[in-house]
A and B are shown apart, each in its own frame.
Chain A
């Protein structure tokens, strides 16, 4: 061995001791850190670890069906197929094929390709939406080639479907995606982004019943989101592993879609209008019709913008529910209530006579009548709709008594049907005029009110219920569109019996007089709707021709301006005249004369109902459930 340099390590020792201290300090810090993470902060990380592995997987629920009174399906759920790609398993050489099957356009192709390529880390094993709601052809292609398309998943989700399309669409409503406001409003009810929520009509009003409740199950997953078999998850006591979904409940409506179809048919050549059919003895709504309408199937998944604009620009306003959301001057259909006010006040009776000269002068103003009726008595005044008679009657009755009678019959008040936004309409009073037109009160206002003009506004449904009350001897019902709620197995959960809103405070003798006159409107040769008479069923009612004060401004073409200025044609009535069962109201927007345009619709609807639709055998309930269950795949 060679000679080592003689320097010792004595001077090293002190520094080695310092180093030992550093080592102790460093590793102690690590142990402290471990203590913090594993003991003090352990709960937090334990929870994350559990959530990593145990994931709650949603168990979907099915939205309840909506059926009409005979079990016909109005709203159901159809499967919609959506294609996903899992980038971690997908092979890019298959991309052109997939794009072809899904019929992606160039833009969609590029976007999807860059999204697949851009997926990194654990995102490579997440589902990536390739195309939503593919058609049958694409589904068939993808399913056929599934074996050669690794990393492609097809999932079926239920989508609302309305077999009747735009028929009764306003009443039924539709679904669309929840937005931020909905999520805030329905906080705690477990709505998720992307989920659909009832947006209008029954779908909206009965959302909580129809929707059901989502369930979930806890399953073990590994980092790829693959259900793991590596370790069976042990559930401790009280550890809830599964919550069963609760399917939505079904609604059975009082609507009869066959009647709806008949109503739609009689409105064939009328571009715009509304109708309501209610049962006289119960207030059940058999038909609630508004034209034009929109196919709710288009509204569900968002429609093309061109179509949306077309709808918005349609002068006949398809989005408006004209049966309950829009109010109109009732015109002469209001006269029975003016007449009742007169009878109750004792200012007229059956023999009160007025000489109609075709005009009624009031100061400098002249109120006109359609004809010169000559000496006219009560019955004839209604049958032939003599304005002059009612002007004179109104002068004696006063506005507030007329308004009082209108309220008795539910006019100018919300009916309480409980769907959509219902407009109350309006019946003016002196107090209202005093408030809004101070110092401008004129007796002319009363005259206009008496014949359903001026500021008087009612809805189609209000009028139908009021006429039902006339027909049934003075019982005003709450309109009922939901017949019952059923469980998924067809068991009735709740039934809705008729609900009386008010017994009208009118002497029965006076009602008889009115009914006699309404029968005459069609039955009498000189009645304003005599030409609408049909042989099969007797219809009683009153025509109305409401002046349209509003002018729809439209730049393109005179015709529309002309149409827009034409009067609205009304007919409100009931049938059969001698033993009323249904009340029917039809409104043809800008149709012109009520007797010509609206009355034939009502008599045709009544004829359809009594000769064809009502006698039809009800679908046997067993058969009905079997069909429905087959559709649900049970």
Chain B
């Protein structure tokens, strides 16, 4: 006990992490201001809401960072079970918006349990990895339990249906699991099995409109008026941003409302049109730094739980960015995935901030006491 907790927090505070998140969040709020400037009514005030959420998230992150993460390790399964319960509740008393069941209303706040499942599941999987101190390659037997941990919430979220969030939840925890060495045979078995079940799901489990949405980005001749409208207008926005952009608040695609969902899924398209290739690349580099820094924190963690959580948090950012930016540049199908700190949304900002808090937590406690 060489130093007090207070001193530790101050001395080992992870300034690069803090700064990169602060910059991204600031740019995100600014962009949101522009993105909603063409809207009227409540929508035009969204950037204020977002500032509140960033502040609330920062506070939550501070608390999360302060408590030793081993406490989370201890209560990981409890949190997991509680979030599963919330997911079940969504079906029982959830609010239906556009035919999907994703939200629970608490007061005036729409709470989205699937967002928090991203972290709950990560903690549970990390705990499992932590508690199984087996350094030789894992086989099916060891993978069975984490597999089940992932499968249950994945099924629940896909039933909402919310393909995008399910994808992120699954990929985040699967990425964390990739830390452990898996027996080659098992690895290939899972890969092949996953491939076959994907094909089966495609053939029998999906409706035509879902398939169409997933493949729309592949075809050159897009139905611009119909299913390809969003992605097309996004491409128009990004492409017409050219090298240096049309200038803050000047993006025509947003100002003339050709872009849909500028405050959530397509916030980056507004940025890309107004700031051009230079601006969008700058943001991508900031994100890359965030992800790499997260992975660095993981490699410096003092135990397996910390490393696992840090890898998971970094993976969470990585996949959100890949799918959102991939979607708006028509490189990937349009699945509703938010861009961290760019997209409006309380649950989303809170989740991302909590992930930052976890990273900070692991970073501060990287040296043995």
* Chain A residues in the interface with B (C-beta under 8 A): 1-2, 4-9, 11-13, 15-17, 19-20, 23-24, 26-27, 29-31, 33-35, 37-39, 41-42, 44-46, 48-50, 52-53, 120-123, 220-224, 228, 230-231
Given contacts A45-B240, A48-B236, contact A30 B284 (CB under 8 A): yes
Q: Which of B237, B299, B321 meets A27, CB within 8 Å? A: B321
Check B235–A228 contact: CB distance below 8 A.
no
Check B298–A12 contact: CB distance below 8 A.
yes
Check A45–B318 contact: CB distance below 8 A.
no
In the assembled complex, the CB of A19 is this many whole angstroms from the nearest CB of chain B, namely 6
Q: Enumerate chain B residues within 8 angstroms of A24, measured Cβ to Cβ.
A: 288, 292
Given contacts A24-B288, A49-B236, contact A230 B256 (CB under 8 A): yes
CB neighbors of A among B134-149 (8 A) = 134-135
Check B329–A33 contact: CB distance below 8 A.
yes
Check A220–B291 contact: CB distance below 8 A.
no
CB neighbors of A among B42-96 (8 A) = 68, 70
Check B238–A230 contact: CB distance below 8 A.
no
B287-326 vs A, CB cutoff 8 Å, 1 = contact: the mask equals 1100110011011011110110001001100100110011
Q: Enumerate chain B residues within 8 angstroms of A34, measured Cβ to Cβ.
A: 238, 272, 277, 280-281, 284, 329
Kindly report which residue of chain B lies nearest to residue A233, judged by CB atoms.
B252
Q: Which of B131, B258, B296 meets A222, CB within 8 Å? A: B258
* Chain B residues in the interface with A (C-beta under 8 A): 38, 68, 70, 130-131, 133-135, 175, 178-179, 181, 225-226, 229, 233, 235-243, 250, 252-253, 255-258, 272-273, 276-277, 280-281, 284-285, 287-288, 291-292, 295-296, 298-299, 301-304, 306-307, 311, 314-315, 318, 321-322, 325-326, 329, 331
Given contacts A13-B299, A122-B225, contact A37 B304 (CB under 8 A): no
Given contacts A16-B295, A39-B243, contact A231 B331 (CB under 8 A): no
Check B284–A38 contact: CB distance below 8 A.
no
Q: Enumerate chain A residues within 8 angstroms of B296, measured Cβ to Cβ.
A: 20
Q: Given A24-B288, A46-B240, A121-B229, list of 7 further CB < 8 A pairs?
A: A38-B241, A39-B243, A49-B239, A49-B252, A50-B240, A52-B258, A222-B255
Check B255–A230 contact: CB distance below 8 A.
yes
Complex Cα–Cα for A19 and B304 (A): 16
Secondary structure class of chain B's binding surface, majority of residues = helix
Kindly report which residue of chain A lies nearest to residue B71, judged by CB atoms.
A1
Given contacts A11-B135, A12-B307, A53-B256, contact A38 B272 (CB under 8 A): yes
Check B239–A11 contact: CB distance below 8 A.
no
Q: Enumerate chain B residues within 8 angstroms of A13, measured Cβ to Cβ.
A: 299
Given contacts A39-B242, A41-B239, contact A16 B299 (CB under 8 A): yes
Complex Cα–Cα for A44 and B239 (A): 8
Complex Cα–Cα for A49 and B239 (A): 9
Given contacts A12-B179, A121-B226, A228-B256, contact A20 B295 (CB under 8 A): yes
Complex Cα–Cα for A5 and B295 (A): 22
Given contacts A7-B133, A16-B295, contact A223 B258 (CB under 8 A): yes
14 A-B contacts, Cβ less than 8 Å apart?
A4-B303, A16-B295, A16-B298, A16-B307, A16-B311, A19-B175, A19-B178, A27-B322, A30-B321, A30-B325, A34-B277, A34-B284, A37-B235, A45-B236
Complex Cα–Cα for A11 and B70 (A): 21
Check B318–A31 contact: CB distance below 8 A.
no
Check B318–A33 contact: CB distance below 8 A.
no
Check B304–A9 contact: CB distance below 8 A.
yes
Check B326–A30 contact: CB distance below 8 A.
yes
Given contacts A12-B304, A230-B38, contact A46 B256 (CB under 8 A): no
Check B253–A38 contact: CB distance below 8 A.
no
Nearest 4 pairs of A and B residues by beta carbon? A45-B239, A7-B133, A49-B240, A38-B277
Complex Cα–Cα for A44 and B236 (A): 8
Check B258–A20 contact: CB distance below 8 A.
no
Complex Cα–Cα for A554 and B194 (A): 81
In the assembled complex, the CB of A334 is this many whole angstroms from the nearest CB of chain B, namely 68
Complex Cα–Cα for A53 and B258 (A): 9
* Most B-side CB within 10 Å, residue of A6, A11, A41: A11
In the assembled complex, the CB of B187 is this many whole angstroms from the nearest CB of chain A, namely 13
Check B304–A222 contact: CB distance below 8 A.
no
Kindly report which residue of chain B lies nearest to residue A228, judged by CB atoms.
B256
Check A231–B304 contact: CB distance below 8 A.
no
Q: Enumerate chain A residues within 8 angstroms of B250, measured Cβ to Cβ.
A: 231
Check B258–A23 contact: CB distance below 8 A.
no
Complex Cα–Cα for A16 and B179 (A): 7
Given contacts A49-B240, A231-B255, contact A9 B181 (CB under 8 A): no
Q: Enumerate chain B residues within 8 angstroms of A222, measured Cβ to Cβ.
A: 255-258
Check B257–A223 contact: CB distance below 8 A.
yes
Q: Enumerate chain A residues within 8 angstroms of B68, measured Cβ to Cβ.
A: 1
Complex Cα–Cα for A231 and B272 (A): 19
In the assembled complex, the CB of A236 is this many whole angstroms from the nearest CB of chain B, namely 14
Complex Cα–Cα for A42 and B237 (A): 10
Check B318–A38 contact: CB distance below 8 A.
no
Complex Cα–Cα for A6 and B131 (A): 10
Kindly report which residue of chain A lies nearest to residue B277, judged by CB atoms.
A38
Q: Enumerate chain B residues within 8 angstroms of A221, measured Cβ to Cβ.
A: 256
Check B242–A46 contact: CB distance below 8 A.
yes
Q: Enumerate chain A residues within 8 angstroms of B179, measured Cβ to Cβ.
A: 12, 15-16
